[in-house]
Amino acid sequence: MIKFEFTSEKEMLGLGARLARLLRGEGVVHLSGGLGAGKTTLCRGILRAMGHSGAVKSPTFTLVEPYQILDSEVYHFDLYRLADPGELEYIGIDEYFGNNKLCLIEWPEKAIGYLPQHDLEITIDVLSEKRIIGVRSNSQSGEKICTQLIEVDESA
């Protein structure tokens, strides 16, 4: 697991930008952390780096917010209010995953057994004014991203 320690929103957005370059518009990313930890801020950094200039808000009530950015389809999920993971079948959850699709999933623990394998697992813990971000790979492409993320961080 790679760990980062940030004290500002700018640093979180910067990590999002680095992740966007490495993800290249594809993959499944799980984001876990308490309310207000910065999951949506990290998603905003990814989306902005990919070229989205509009608002990025957490889709708490709609479950998913779609974005079409160049050749990529990006789906930002917020499963916080999901009462039963079976509800995901009603929105056609399987249709959101595939080539040229990037799925950013907040609160993935609410849908265990209903989501495909993820490439990256990102955890955000709040410690006073700091955010401790852990990035763990869960696939071959995730491992490659983590390796490149370390190389980029070390060269900074």
Rounded CA separation 56/36 (Å): 15
What pLDDT sits at residue 145? Answer: 94
Which tens digits make up the pLDDT trace of 82-118? 989 988 988 899 899 988 899 999 999 999 889 999 9
Residue whose tokens read 């680095």: 18
What pLDDT sits at residue 153? Answer: 61
Rounded CA separation 92/147 (Å): 33
For range 48-58, the mean pLDDT: 90
For range 63-88, the mean pLDDT: 91
Domain ranges of the chain: 2-155
Rounded CA separation 65/74 (Å): 8
Task: Tell me: pLDDT of 155 over 60.
Answer: no
Q: What is the pTM of this model?
A: 0.93
What pLDDT sits at residue 47? Answer: 97
Rounded CA separation 3/11 (Å): 13
Mean pLDDT of the chain: 92
Task: Tell me: pLDDT of 50 over 90.
Answer: yes
Rounded CA separation 91/106 (Å): 16
Task: Tell me: pLDDT of 35 over 90.
Answer: yes
Highest CATH level, class, for 2-155: alpha beta
